[in-house]
A and B are shown apart, each in its own frame.
Chain A
């Protein structure tokens, strides 16, 4: 740890730091573990995998330090300042340009399809984890949330953005067999948010999130999502809603974009487009 100097605390377990060798600013993520059996095997496997990840649109893991005295591992990531939430707030006019949205969406999809080619589900794609370099409009997704979700060691930070707005319906009903399709849903939510500059499914709590999704995308039926009533036994308590017209909710998006949005936000994960297929969509053709 002597290589790094802590500068500021970003949130619980996440710090801004400085690498004393390269004078580079870095983000340090501390993961604690019980100290009786050394470093847990799951963490060793996880980190080995993270180190193999090299992609222009994924925040790079620079170093891993085993901080023995504190029974924790510190993951050292390259540091980026502006996430998508603040980017939209600071540059609302830039975000109004259709080409910017298209270029940013393409980069998110490239990152997602890279994860998915390793059979890895990111599980936490949201604007707060999506960073943009304002000088070049290069977008990078970070993954320093998801090792934590595997360990459940930290509770959610109350200051953190409401992550449930980007959760896919199959996650909200706690269906155990989720897949890479959950990331595609999150990308769809971000796509709509880049256009309208506010979350598409903004419920007041995780409990109301499903009703919010149903109210816009329509309550699933046997035709739109075969077998859903078996997966989710509380379906009958929800009112039957018809799908709303996304063109009216996500105004200003070209027809090809609306079509892609429909495919990204397809309720049944089996019918949802994959990240790789989405990159070949006609929306990106011109």
Chain B
């Protein structure tokens, strides 16, 4: 009948239809994102770690820390991938290990140090990360924390982060635009 015919004719723009540019690999987009979503399920931090694992730090403290790290990443001109990976590392660590509030900022800069080493062409030095905390922590404390994070997370840094999906969501949201804007990433 007529109603079902109308229902199947939903008007949408297929964002994977630009098969003209082979470098965009749009024909594989569906498979790639299926894989990424499967990988995300394996690697993502627990959603309730604040209630189950942490007793001293709170959600708002984590929020303040992340806001501050956004500023640090701007100060040191780090790529967005580093920032998102930093947040992923912090959350993964907090999912598995209890930490005191005095050490939360140390965890933050250490995770940013590791993420920079993984993502950046030229990562800031440990001194620079200590400096930005007004030298609250010493270099050896950072190195020590780095060892703890690496051992706890077992060098699993190739997990998809928010950033991995943001590009595609933005593309879908701006499907009518001629060229996708990258400013929001």
Judged by a CB distance under 8 angstroms, whether A13 is at the interface is: no
Known contacts being A41-B117, A44-B118, is A63 close to B154, with CB within 8 Å?
Answer: yes
Known contacts being A37-B125, A38-B146, A68-B147, is A48 close to B117, with CB within 8 Å?
Answer: no
Query: What number of A-B contacts does a CB cutoff of 8 Å give?
Result: 51
Q: Quick one: closest B residue to A37, CB to CB?
A: B126
Show 24 residue pairs from A and B whose CB-CB distance is below 8 angstroms, ordered by the A residue: A37-B126, A38-B117, A38-B146, A38-B147, A39-B117, A39-B147, A40-B117, A41-B116, A41-B117, A41-B118, A41-B123, A44-B114, A44-B117, A44-B157, A48-B156, A48-B157, A48-B158, A51-B155, A51-B156, A63-B154, A64-B150, A64-B154, A65-B151, A68-B143
Binding site for A on B (CB under 8 A): 113-114, 116-118, 120, 123, 125-126, 142-144, 146-147, 150-151, 154-158
Q: Quick one: closest B residue to A50, CB to CB?
A: B155
How many chain A residues touch the partner (CB < 8 A)? 18
Question: Chain B contacts of A44 at CB under 8 A?
Answer: 114, 117-118, 150, 155, 157
Q: Kindly state the separation between the CA atoms of A39 and B147 in the bound complex, as whole angstroms.
A: 8
A-B contact sample (13 more), CB < 8 A, given A51-B158, A68-B147: A39-B147, A40-B117, A41-B120, A44-B117, A45-B117, A48-B158, A49-B158, A52-B158, A64-B154, A64-B155, A65-B151, A66-B147, A66-B151
Question: Chain A contacts of B154 at CB under 8 A?
Answer: 51, 63-64
Q: Is the CB of B113 within 8 A of A38?
A: yes
Judged by a CB distance under 8 angstroms, whether A95 is at the interface is: no
Q: Kindly state the separation between the CA atoms of A63 and B151 in the bound complex, as whole angstroms.
A: 10
Question: Chain A contacts of B151 at CB under 8 A?
Answer: 65-66
Shortest beta-carbon distance from B133 to chain A in Å? 16
Q: Kindly state the separation between the CA atoms of A63 and B117 in the bound complex, as whole angstroms.
A: 21
Shortest beta-carbon distance from A93 to chain B in Å? 43
Q: Kindly state the separation between the CA atoms of A166 and B157 in the bound complex, as whole angstroms.
A: 34
Judged by a CB distance under 8 angstroms, whether A171 is at the interface is: no
Contact of A47 among B116, B147, B155 (CB under 8 A): B155
1/0 per residue A30-58: CB within 8 Å of B? 00000101111100110111011000000
Question: Chain A contacts of B155 at CB under 8 A?
Answer: 44, 47-48, 51, 64
Shortest beta-carbon distance from B57 to chain A in Å? 24
Question: Chain B contacts of A40 at CB under 8 A?
Answer: 117
Q: Is the CB of B144 within 8 A of A45?
A: no
Q: Kindly state the separation between the CA atoms of A39 and B126 in the bound complex, as whole angstroms.
A: 11
Known contacts being A44-B114, A68-B144, is A39 close to B150, with CB within 8 Å?
Answer: yes
Shortest beta-carbon distance from B79 to chain A in Å? 14
Q: Kindly state the separation between the CA atoms of A35 and B126 in the bound complex, as whole angstroms.
A: 12
Q: Quick one: closest B residue to A51, CB to CB?
A: B155
Q: Kindly state the separation between the CA atoms of A134 and B113 in the bound complex, as whole angstroms.
A: 46
Q: Kindly state the separation between the CA atoms of A121 and B126 in the bound complex, as whole angstroms.
A: 32
Question: Chain A contacts of B156 at CB under 8 A?
Answer: 48, 51
Q: Kindly state the separation between the CA atoms of A47 and B150 in the bound complex, as whole angstroms.
A: 11
Q: Is the CB of B118 within 8 A of A45?
A: yes
Question: Chain B contacts of A35 at CB under 8 A?
Answer: 143
Q: Quick one: closest B residue to A71, CB to CB?
A: B143
Question: Chain A contacts of B116 at CB under 8 A?
Answer: 41
Question: Chain A contacts of B126 at CB under 8 A?
Answer: 37-38
Q: Kindly state the separation between the CA atoms of A47 and B117 in the bound complex, as whole angstroms.
A: 13
Q: Kindly state the separation between the CA atoms of A230 and B113 in the bound complex, as whole angstroms.
A: 44
Shortest beta-carbon distance from A4 to chain B in Å? 13
